[in-house]
Amino acid sequence: MPVSDLNIMVTANATGGTIASTYGTSYTDVTNTAATILSGCSNGGNQTFSVQYQATPGFNFPAGTYTANVIFTATQP
C-alpha cells in the first residue's frame, strides 16, 4: 500500500503552538517529503499533541493489518 493511502489529523494540541494547514480540520495525506504540522510551539518536554491515522486503500488490498513508519521530528528555530 503506498504511503499516499495514509492520512493524518492532529486531534489534540497542548503545545501552545498552531496547527498548520488542514491538519487540524480534516485528514491530510502523508507524503514522503517533510511537512510542518505544528509551529510556534512552547519550549519544554511537557508539550503534547495527538495524531489520528486513517488508511484509505479502497478495494485494491485485502482485509488485514498493515503498518507504516511515520517519523515526527521536533526542532527549535
* Model confidence, pTM: 0.77
Q: What is the mean pLDDT of residues 3-16?
A: 90
Q: What is the pLDDT of residues 16-42, one digit of tens each?
A: 999 988 899 999 988 888 888 999 998
Average pLDDT rounded to a whole number, residues 40-65: 86
Beta-carbon contacts of residue 1 (< 8 Å; ≥ 6 apart): 55, 57, 60, 61, 66, 68
Measured over the CA atoms of residue 33, residue 42, residue 24 and residue 67, the dihedral's sign is positive
Residue 15: exposure state from Cβ atoms within 10 A (0-12, 13-18, ≥19): buried
Q: Which residues pair with 50 in a beta bridge?
A: 12
